[in-house]
Amino acid sequence: MGRKVLITGASRGIGKSIATAFAKLGDDLILTCLNNIESLEKFAGNLEQKFDIKVRAVKCDVSDYEAVKALFTDIKDIDILINNAGVAWIGLLTDMEKEDWDKVMGTNLDALFYTARFAVPLMVKKHSGRIINISSVWGNVGASCEVAYSASKGGVNSFTKALAKELAPSGIVVNAVACGVIDTDMNRKHLSSDDLEELKGEIPMDRLGSTEEVADLVVKLAQIPEYMTGQIITIDGGWI
């Protein structure tokens, strides 16, 4: 399609699958990561060769305003912004340090302001654009021992709804995807095999979601009629 798509946190998991899905459609990509730049550069090169598109890999801490500002110095046009980068922290709130809280909020919520701050003016010029934020079911209902994560994703949901209203007159669509338990490295890092099996038993579909399923939904959201904006779409196998 030749659109210009920025995807944060694209070196693995959901972000990587989203990048592949847009590449298949012929869109040019800017992909960011925090720690896995070598892997991301290799992935970007493979996408370029396979789909004959332009892909740029950038190391960028999206929780750092100045880093995001620097990222956008080389971005002159953008059609779609996917805010996917995220981190989790599991444990009692009373065991959490301020640094842990700041990291979760910085990556999961502050980054949305930073990227939108610079992407929106480029979209307003064209009177078009799509912003899709990756959220979580815990942003809808909250989770014990994931207070900071739940709060950050609740903020993502409110940010999405408010920004959608603000940008609707400019022809810019803003929606979010609230994910259930998706089979990602992040979930496997924080949850044991027993935990994951127990969760599967609670999910009506009796399985974890795949990153490809999330990516498929995101691609569809990038093409829906612009009248559908400010929505939090849940993908959780009927769980919550």
**pLDDT value at position 57?**
98
Contact call for residues 240 and 222 (beta carbons, < 8 A): no
| Residue ranges in the chain whose pLDDT is less than 50 | none
Query: Looking at residue 199, which CATH number applies to its domain?
Result: 3.40.50.720
Domain count for the chain, please give it: 1
**pLDDT value at position 229?**
98
Q: How far is CA 73 from CA 16, 69, 76, 179, 219, in A?
A: 24, 7, 8, 31, 26
**pLDDT value at position 193?**
86
**pLDDT value at position 190?**
76
**pLDDT value at position 219?**
98
Identify the domain containing residue 173 by its residue range.
Answer: 4-235
Measured in residues, the chain has a length of 240
Domain assignment present for residue 240? The answer is no
Tokens at 48, concatenated: 């370029």
Which residues are the active-site residues?
149
Domain assignment present for residue 25? The answer is yes
Q: How far is CA 140 from CA 29, 76, 130, 213, 237, in A?
A: 30, 35, 22, 20, 15
Nearest CA among 90, 72, 73, 89 for reference residue 81: 72
**pLDDT value at position 92?**
98
